[in-house]
Amino acid sequence: MLAVMPARILVVKRPRGGWFAALRGVPTSLRAILASGRAGGAAPAESGAVGAGTPFASAARGRGDASAALAPRVGVDVDVEASLERLRTGLAERAARLVEDDARGRATSSASGASPSSTWDGATLPGPAHDGASRVELGEANASSTLRWLREDPALGFDTLFDLTIVDRSPAWPRFEVVYSLRSSATGRSLRVGRPVGADPPEVDSVVPLWRSADWLEREAWDLFGVRFRGHPGLERILLPPDFDGAPLLRDGAGPTSASTDRADPVGPTGQAAPREERPS
């Protein structure tokens, strides 16, 4: 796929020496000043005068040659496949360690009796979906440790929490699932990680220490679904007003189910708070 990628990359040229240098150049040629700035940093700054009309140096590759420039970021690396394979095949021994780790004071209520093999048997790794993201289902007991491993393993390098959301599976149990969308800048891979929430009232460990972007995402999940995140630095409502009552995105409160809804009467009492006993406060 990358071989046909037609795009190029331009690196912004910066005025060297700040505005003063730029000012001195004003009467002559602004472009000359801007073009004399260093591309700097780690950016690829190979020559080529494609960007002559713009304040850009061209680190450009022409059509069909983009793969070399882009491969580290958007390519699919074989090593990642191997790492993910390791996640699947090396389940037993790793799981034993992780569960021990997790059991140190952080074991969730309903999964405390789960054996390593039974929690890890649920792990599945289907092939890449249409958007290139694989999906992993975590067992409940070792989810925190596994997420930490995904973050810290240099071969995987999932340094971006691209999104976090909740799936309300009611009436199934466990009712809630936290879905983490991870991105790796080292490999360009996406991974979706599902983590069941067995506790009632729903509560899981916060991942703010691992990914900073989890801060507001977890606040939003708490706000709209009432799932609590242990260890979050400031779990407050974020989108709804502080005195709001309920968790509006739950399936059993306000809002119609699709079974009871047709085109003639599609709209339920939206905007109303769901009557929930474990409401966020």
Question: In angstroms, what is the minimal distance from the CB of 116 to other proteins?
Answer: 29
Number of C-beta neighbours around residue 263 at 10 A: 5
Question: In angstroms, what is the minimal distance from the CB of 180 to other proteins?
Answer: 11
Please provide the size of the chain in residues.
Answer: 281
Please name the helix (run of DSSP H) or strand (run of DSSP E) that holds residue 133, with its range, or none: strand 133-137
Indicate the residue among 64 and 90 with the shorter CB distance to other proteins: 64
Indicate the residue among 156 and 224 with the shorter CB distance to other proteins: 224
Measure Cα distances from 156 to 67, 83, 149, 163 in Å: 21, 7, 9, 18
Question: In angstroms, what is the minimal distance from the CB of 175 to other proteins?
Answer: 14
Indicate the residue among 116 and 280 with the shorter CB distance to other proteins: 280
250/246 Cα distance (integer angstroms) = 9
Indicate the residue among 96 and 186 with the shorter CB distance to other proteins: 186
Q: How many CA atoms lie within 13 A of 2 on its CB side?
A: 16
Q: Give residue 249's identity as a one-letter amino acid code.
A: L
Question: In angstroms, what is the minimal distance from the CB of 80 to other proteins?
Answer: 15
